């Protein structure tokens, strides 16, 4: 016995979870072969283990990193962001191209309620912006509306028509407005993004409602809603962990890939947005702001995010390094 | 791992004597399992059974305490893999590494600056937890001088990084308090173990991964050491996540005592990694002590907030007392804001109103500690509740106007609220607190509306 222990030190059995479920694979974008014009498609999901635990399941795709652009220069973005994008933010096509060059996997185009001149955004304008972005960048594209149901009903139908065949990701389907967006996506073969306020059951319900309209589950991305670091990140973080555990346990309506928006959330809080009138102890503004976005994003990668929508090109680089290391590293 | 009621029952006398106050031994066992009764209420339990029960009720991850010259830190005692399962209890300590090769003046400045770093976050005082002094010079005199200098600059707990027992001893003699000694490895474990034992300080153990760690902790336990900390060696995001998860699972799910200790991590050890983001991973995923190589307020603040968030008890959202709050000494003409009693929401709004320089009233309603959107979705922040609190907290008597500013996210409530509060004008404020100063400037400059 003694001898054996000396020569064969005990090997601990690594505890592994046996999961019966798996996250659905969802493919965004369509190449020429598939009726679109994208240079490549983007597949997310497919995990059969908790985030990055390669020793107990499959994680076929790294999370996709998207960069958010707008149909016009946003009025309320932090000066740090506008500085980072420079002139590109003046024109959505240029911006999309810059985002592609910055290393994005997906362009996440957000439509504004009003034009720069303060007039109501129109279906015609939305159509032309989407066309120009599709022409400028060959990446898969997501297009989300203004968040106001009435405006979105008009804009998103036009967007769906204009992008026919491209397998766009259209959003954001919330309780009040999902019908129009889902119908438009169904009619023109697109995908949809659902969103519910940080709650496992509400999230499932929304997926059921969208699915009941005839939208296949292979075309739904689930957004459980993100809180920024310091402003409720722990709620979203835990809801995501619970959704992912439920998915792996075989609960079908939680098996959608998850999309999170740490860029938007982090950049609207004071720590990131502004540099004046804040406590000195907060340290250097730019460094703090970039940390705010990157830490929010990194935490959500660990709670199961499949698509991460960012705002700052530098954050994309940092988060890309983390994702690459988690995927290919030692 | 906690025993089930039935497992406990097997260890009890099974005589149903009722002297514990319960009708049967089984009923008593069930109460013990639910932690609603204490074993001492059973007069007949055998010593052997009592020892077994006590061992089983010991926390799966040992609590390790460090002491400075004033102030201490406890890490460990975690019981779950995911925070929603219960909560994470002891926030990982954030330390800053100072090498003894650093010029004395530079070291002193670094320590003084980092030690003085305090930030208020929703009423919580955030700060670093201590310093890790490294014997990089290999010279005992130099190391002792460096530990002494750091000790002078801070009262916080220390970690002594010195893998040579002679150096470690030199550091221990001047450190004071109860520092963590770092680290025992396959070569030096015996000498380091004896040193830690005689100084009665916790000892970190470094090896590559769970197997090698287990081997070492068993040896150190046989020397009589109980307070250990694990360093599974820094390998990068992927392997570290696997190692840390495995260690946590072995301790909690397999009740493996030899690995039931907090983990120490060094996110700055790998040149290729982003120290800040690797530290974020360690905070979210199971580290008990995080030693940083760099101090920068813009990073420390963000990491400390992450730690605070991840370690918030999910069953007890941090709340503030509902009521009417005064900001900047408001008079009856000052604007009235309404929000929920989730503390982050409250502090965001209160800080912005305060920072704007405007006097204001802030009505905080009882939304069971939820943020505006979450509370609204859950039906805890609606027109009826707001109207009820306007009356309950005597808001009308404090104001010379009847204007109420609603958070922009719940603008949909304004119609109903006008019905609930006849004679009031409901104004829709900005969606985000950060935009309150701009809103006040444009909407309230002439007395509102």
DSSP assignment string, B240-299: HHHHHHHHHHHHHTS--GGG-S-BEE-TTS-TTS-HHHHHHHHHHTT-SEEEES---HHH
Answer whether B195's CB lies under 8 Å from B169's CB.
yes
Quick one: average pLDDT of A136-147?
A: 96
Q: Does a cis peptide bond (omega within 30 degrees of 0) precede residue A50? A: no
> Cβ B84–A12 below 8 Å, yes or no?
no
Angle (nearest 5°) at CA B335 between B331 and B341: 105
Asked if pLDDT for residue B177 goes beyond 70, the answer is yes
- Alpha-carbon distance B248 to nearest alpha carbon in chain A (angstroms): 10
Contact B309 A229 (CB under 8 A): yes
Distance CA B281, CA B215 (A): 26
Judge: A327–B280 Cβ closer than 8 Å, yes or no. no
Asked if the Cβ–Cβ distance from B298 to A281 is below 8 Å, we say no
CA B183 to chain centre: 25
Nearest 5°: the CA angle A270, A274, A276 is 115
Give the chain B residue nearest A76 (alpha carbons): B435
CB contact under 8 Å between A233 and B306, yes or no, is yes
> How many Cβ atoms from other residues are within 10 Å of residue A47's Cβ?
28
Find the residue in A nearest to B354 (Cα): A277
Cα–Cα distance for residue pair B75/B66, rounded to 1 Å: 9
The half-sphere exposure of A105 on its side-chain side, counting CA atoms within 13 A, is 20
Point out the residue among A237, A281, A292 whose CB comes nearest to the CB of B297. Answer: A281
Residue A211: how many CA atoms within 13 Å on its side-chain side?
Answer: 17
pLDDT tens-digit map of B60-117: 999 999 999 988 999 999 999 999 999 999 999 999 999 999 988 888 899 999 999 9
Cβ of residue B245 closer than 8 Å to a chain A Cβ? yes
pLDDT in tens, B371-405: 898 899 889 999 999 999 999 999 999 999 999 99
Q: Give me the residue from B239, B297, B348 closest to A282, CB to CB.
A: B297
Residue A15 has its nearest CB partner, among B250, B310, B435, at: B250
> How confident is the model at residue A7, as a pLDDT?
40
User: How much of chain A exceeds pLDDT 90, in percent?
Assistant: 87
Chain B from 16 to 75: CB within 8 A of any A CB: none
Give the residue with greater pLDDT, A102 vs A147: A102
Place of tokens 């009820």: B388
Q: What is the pLDDT of residues B285-321, one digit of tens each?
A: 999 999 999 999 999 999 999 999 999 998 876 788 8
Show residues of chain B in contact with A249, CB under 8 Å.
none
Name the token pair of A157: 């139908």
Confidence of residue B449 (pLDDT cuts 50, 70, 90): very low
For A268-327, the pLDDT digits (tens) are 898 999 898 889 999 999 999 999 999 999 999 999 999 999 999 999 999 999 999 999
CB-closest option in B235, B274, B432 to A322: B274
Closest CA to A138 of A204, A230, A39, A210: A39
Give me the sign of the Cα torsion angle A215, A194, A166, A61: negative
Residue A254 to residues A156, A196, A217, B352: CA-CA distances in angstroms?
A: 26, 13, 10, 38
- Give yes or no for residue A5 having a pLDDT over 60: no
Distance, in angstroms, between A162 CA and closest chain B CA? Answer: 31
A136: pLDDT strictly greater than 90: yes
pTM value is 0.88
Q: Nearest chain B Cα to A284, which residue? A: B298
pLDDT tens figures, B398-432: 999 999 999 999 999 999 999 999 999 999 999 98
pLDDT in tens, B129-164: 999 999 999 999 999 999 999 999 999 999 999 989
| Average pLDDT score, chain B | 92
Task: Specify the length of chain A in residues.
Answer: 330
CB atoms B242 and A54 under 8 Å = yes
Could you say which DSSP state residue A89 is in? G
DSSP 8-state secondary structure symbol assigned to residue B92:
P
| Pair B97, B161: CB distance under 8 Å | yes
**Closest CA of chain A from B344, distance in Å:** 6
Which residues of chain A neighbour B310 with C-beta distances below 8 Å?
234, 237, 299
B5 pLDDT band, cuts 50/70/90, is confident
Q: State whether A325 and B238 contact (CB < 8 Å).
A: yes
Residue-wise DSSP of A28-47: E---GGGTS--SS-EEEE--
Q: Do B238 and A245 touch (CB under 8 A)?
A: no
A18 pLDDT band, cuts 50/70/90, is very high
Beta carbons of A47 and A60 less than 8 angstroms apart: yes
In this predicted model, what pLDDT tens digit does every residue of A209-241 receive, in sequence order? 999 999 999 999 999 999 899 988 999 999 999
Q: pLDDT tens digits for B14-42?
A: 999 999 999 999 999 988 887 778 888 89
Which residues on chain A are in Cβ contact (under 8 Å) with B82?
A: 238, 241-242, 245
pLDDT digits (tens, 9 = 90+) for A161-173: 999 999 999 999 9
pLDDT at A6: 40
> Does residue B419 contact residue B381 with C-beta atoms inside 8 Å?
no
Question: What sign results for the dihedral spanned by CA atoms A279, A284, A285, A288?
Answer: negative
Q: What average pLDDT does the structure give for chain A?
A: 94
Both tokens assigned to B135: 């014997």
Lookup: tokens for A209: 């409602």
| A197–B280 C-beta distance less than 8 A | no
Predicted pLDDT of residue A3? 37
**Each residue of B88-121: b (16+ CB within 10 Å) or e?**
bbbbbbbbbbbbbebeeeebbebbeebbebebeb
CA dihedral B412, B417, B419, B425 (to 10 degrees): -100
Contact A197 B373 (CB under 8 A): yes
Task: Give the CA count within 13 Å in the CB-facing half-sphere of B265.
Answer: 32
Interface test with A, best of B85, B218, B237 (most A CBs within 10 A): B237
List of residues 6+ apart from B197 with CB closer than 8 A: B223, B224, B225
CB contacts of A199 in chain B (<8 Å) are 374, 377-378
Residues whose CB is less than 8 angstroms from the CB of residue B409 and which lie 6 or more positions away in sequence, other chains included: B372, B373, B376, B431
What is the sign, positive or negative, of the torsion defined by CA atoms of A282, A286, A287, A289? positive
Nearest to A209 by CA among A196, A224, A226, A199: A196
| B169 pLDDT higher than 50 | yes
């Amino acid at each position: 016995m003694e001898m054996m222990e000396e020569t064969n030190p005990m090997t601990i059995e690594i505890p592994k979870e046996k999961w019966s479920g798996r996250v659905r694979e969802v493919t965004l974008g369509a190449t020429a072969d598939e009726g679109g014009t994208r240079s490549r498609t983007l597949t997310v999901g497919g995990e059969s283990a908790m985030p990055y635990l390669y020793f107990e399941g499959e994680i076929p795709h790294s999370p996709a990193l998207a960069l958010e652009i707008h149909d016009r220069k946003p009025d309320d973005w932090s000066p740090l962001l506008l500085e980072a994008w420079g002139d590109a933010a003046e024109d959505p096509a240029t911006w999309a191209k810059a985002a592609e060059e910055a290393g994005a996997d997906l362009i996440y185009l957000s439509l504004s309620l009003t034009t720069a001149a303060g007039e109501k955004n129109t279906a015609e304008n939305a159509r032309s912006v989407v066309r120009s972005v599709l022409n400028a960048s060959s990446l898969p594209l997501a297009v989300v509306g203004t968040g106001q149901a009435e405006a979105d009903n008009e804009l998103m139908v036009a967007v769906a028509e204009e992008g026919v065949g491209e397998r766009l990701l259209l959003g954001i389907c919330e309780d009040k407005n999902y019908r129009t967006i889902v119908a438009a996506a169904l009619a023109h073969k697109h995908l949809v993004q659902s969103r519910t306020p940080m709650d496992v059951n509400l999230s499932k319900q929304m997926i059921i409602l969208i699915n009941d309209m005839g939208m296949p589950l292979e075309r739904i991305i689930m957004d459980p809603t993100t809180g920024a670091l310091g402003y409720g990140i722990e709620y979203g973080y835990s809801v995501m962990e619970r959704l992912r555990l439920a998915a792996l346990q075989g609960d079908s309506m939680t098996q959608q890939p998850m999309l999170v928006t740490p860029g938007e959330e982090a950049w609207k809080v004071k720590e990131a947005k502004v540099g004046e009138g804040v406590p000195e102890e907060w340290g250097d503004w730019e460094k703090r702001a970039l940390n705010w976005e990157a830490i929010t994003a990194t935490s959500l990668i660990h709670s199961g995010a499949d698509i991460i929508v960012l705002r700052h090109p530098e954050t994309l680089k940092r988060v890309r390094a983390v994702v690459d290391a988690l995927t290919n590293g030692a | 791992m906690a025993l089930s009621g039935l497992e406990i029952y097997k260890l009890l006398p099974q005589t149903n004597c009722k002297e514990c106050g319960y009708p049967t031994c089984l009923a008593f066992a069930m109460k013990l399992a639910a932690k609603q009764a204490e074993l001492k209420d059973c007069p007949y339990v055998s010593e052997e059974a009592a020892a077994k029960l006590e061992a089983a009720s010991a926390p799966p991850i040992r609590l390790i305490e460090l002491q400075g010259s004033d102030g201490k830190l406890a890490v460990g005692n975690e019981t779950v893999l995911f925070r929603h399962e219960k909560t994470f209890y002891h926030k990982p300590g954030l330390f800053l590494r100072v090498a003894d090769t650093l010029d004395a003046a530079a070291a002193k400045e670094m320590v003084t600056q980092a030690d003085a770093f305090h930030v208020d976050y929703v009423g919580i005082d955030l700060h670093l937890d201590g310093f890790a002094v490294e014997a990089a010079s290999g010279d005992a005199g130099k190391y002792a001088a460096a530990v002494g200098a750091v000790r002078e600059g801070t009262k916080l707990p220390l970690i002594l990084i010195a893998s040579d027992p002679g150096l470690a001893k030199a550091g221990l003699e001047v450190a004071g308090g109860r520092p963590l000694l770092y680290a025992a490895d396959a070569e030096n474990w015996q000498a380091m173990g004896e040193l830690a034992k005689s100084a009665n300080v916790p000892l970190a153990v470094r090896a590559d991964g769970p197997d090698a760690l287990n081997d070492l902790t068993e040896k150190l336990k046989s020397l009589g050491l109980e307070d250990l900390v694990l360093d599974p060696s820094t390998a990068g995001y992927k392997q570290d996540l696997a190692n840390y998860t495995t260690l946590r699972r072995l301790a909690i799910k397999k009740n493996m005592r030899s690995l039931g200790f907090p983990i120490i991590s060094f996110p700055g050890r790998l040149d290729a990694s982003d120290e800040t983001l690797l530290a974020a991973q360690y905070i979210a995923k199971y580290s008990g002590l995080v030693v940083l190589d760099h101090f920068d307020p813009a990073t420390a603040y963000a990491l400390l907030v992450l730690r605070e968030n991840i370690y918030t008890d999910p069953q007890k959202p941090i709340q503030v007392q509902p009521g009417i709050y005064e900001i900047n000494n408001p008079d009856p003409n000052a604007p009235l804001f309404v929000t929920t009693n989730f503390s982050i929401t409250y502090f965001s709004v209160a800080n912005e109103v305060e920072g704007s320089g405007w006097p204001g009233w802030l009505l905080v309603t009882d939304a069971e500690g939820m943020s505006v959107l979450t509370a609204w979705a859950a039906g805890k922040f609606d027109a009826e509740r707001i109207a009820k609190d306007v009356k309950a907290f005597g808001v009308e008597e404090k104001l010379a106007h009847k204007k109420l500013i609603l958070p922009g996210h719940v603008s949909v409530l304004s119609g109903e609220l006008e019905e609930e509060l006849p004679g009031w004008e409901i104004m829709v404020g900005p969606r985000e607190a950060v935009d309150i100063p701009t809103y006040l400037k444009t909407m309230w400059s002439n007395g509102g509306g």
